[in-house]
Amino acid sequence: MESSGSLLHCAEQINAKGDNSMQKMRLQKRKLALTAGMLVAVIFILDGAKRQIFRTDTSNSIVVDGSFRSNGVSNANAGETVPFTLDENGQPTTAFEGIKYAGFNETEIDSSDINQGLLVLADAEHPVAAANKDSMVDLADCKNEFYSLADEEEHVYLNADAAEALNCMMADYNSATELDDFVVYGTTDTFTGSGSSCDRYFQERVTGNTVDLALLGADSIIDYDGLDEEGWIIENCVKYGFIVRYPKDKDEKTGESYCPWHLRYVGKLHASNMQKNGLCLEEYLEALKTYSIDDPYECSYDDAGYMVYYIPSAGEKTPARVPLSGNYSISGNNSDGFIITTKK
């Protein structure tokens, strides 16, 4: 009986061990299933994070200075905007290229746009077509009380940004000097005949970004020489995006002697860059040719950072890398390429 009881006891132990083994196997299977599930979840989370990091919002509109063509990135024609994941042969770019130009797209600039924009060079050697006055504003309708027009009955056209800057500048001039003696003698159509206060013709007037100034005298309009209290305009116009287009000691570069009465609107950033570096427009455009998207000119204005780079013209269509954000402007130089200005 003892032997029979021992065998029974051994059998019970064996069965117990078998049950334990089965339980362990089930537990291991559950652990493996749980681990696999967690691994899949981690992969999905990482993939979602990756997609979020590299997701690009293309809803912003391209911001373009002057009268340059303006399109929204999201609704550009398929032939005009190409994802920067393919090379010129339609093959995928290398991983290095994709990282290097992350956040940029490639667009095409038409050759006809080389004579459009705020920085376009316009002179006898580089003529430009007249800008469309329908896209301008009439100073007779929107000027403030701090300056006059040579003929209040005539239409005096100016690009909207330049007109707004002019109004701000003249209001601040009045605050600083208590004077309101400036006269806008002309913009796109300045009288330069005998007895004119602005007796030199400049081809760039047709761009709609220039202002010719004179002063109210006791009995008539008199020439503006940039001196006395009125010199405030020469000293401060850069703050409003204007430059003295033909400054002192730049005759050899511009081909024109000092002309304080002729201002050119180029925007605050570029006006500031020219002043800080002591450059006239010709010198500035030449200097910018040394900067590319790989080595851009980095600058700042009003606590914001900017990059400026040059792209040489490639004929009928010029490929250009531009930010996907749409926060950039393009200007032709009316010679051999384009200047792209982007905000960081």
Domain boundaries, the chain: 124-265
pLDDT score, position 53: 41
pLDDT score, position 34: 62
d(CA 129, CA 77): 27
d(CA 237, CA 253): 21
- Shortest CA distance to 285 belongs to which of 314, 315, 243? 243
What b-and-e string marks burial along 36-57, b requiring 16 or more CB atoms within 10 Å of the CB?
Answer: eeeeeeeeeeeeeeeeeeeeee
Please determine, for residue 12, whether its predicted confidence score (pLDDT) is greater than 70.
no
d(CA 48, CA 67): 41
d(CA 54, CA 223): 58
- Shortest CA distance to 97 belongs to which of 82, 81, 83, 85? 85
pLDDT score, position 48: 53
Position with higher pLDDT, 63 vs 224? 224
pLDDT band at residue 198 under the 50/70/90 scheme: very high
Residue 20 CB burial class (10 angstroms; 0-12, 13-18, ≥19): exposed
Position with higher pLDDT, 24 vs 268? 268
Please determine, for residue 6, whether its predicted confidence score (pLDDT) is greater than 90.
no
Tell me if residue 286 falls in helix, strand or coil.
Answer: helix
Task: Calculate mean pLDDT across residues 123-151.
Answer: 93
Task: Calculate mean pLDDT across residues 327-333.
Answer: 96
pLDDT band at residue 75 under the 50/70/90 scheme: very low
Fold for the domain defined by 124-265: Muramoyl-pentapeptide Carboxypeptidase; domain 2 (3.30.1380)
pLDDT band at residue 305 under the 50/70/90 scheme: very high
The letter for the amino acid at 42 is: V
Q: Is the pTM of this model over 0.75?
A: no
Task: Calculate mean pLDDT across residues 121-133.
Answer: 91
